[in-house]
Structure 1
Amino acid sequence: FGIPHSTLCDQIQGIPTCKQAHEHEHLLMSNQEDVLVEWIKGMGRRGLPVTQEMLSQHAGNI
């Protein structure tokens, strides 16, 4: 599958991924980021551009 052996060993030992280890430094949690990304994609499918203001407002509502 192309996954490094060290990655598999880390997962077995319960060592967090880089993303998990630094999640506390982010403004949004991963699930909140996912919601925001889906909203942005939905806006794009409708042909509606997302401004910085819209993005900030929507992120604040999550």
Structure 2
Amino acid sequence: MPKKKSFVIRIDPDTMEALEKWAADEFRSVNGQIEWLIDRALKEAGRKPKKKPPES
């Protein structure tokens, strides 16, 4: 399984509070919620990269 990349994000405190509440409502971590939101946005925009087949 490929490693996930990490990065720092600066976010408005009110936005962070809203994300924390939403994540808790969905039983996700804030990180998981952000990943889910990005994934959904990429799919809706038709920009989600295709998964590469596993190398043998």
Fold shared per TM-score above 0.5: no
* TM-score, L = length of structure 1: 0.34
Q: Which has the higher helix share?
A: 1
TM-score (norm 2): 0.37
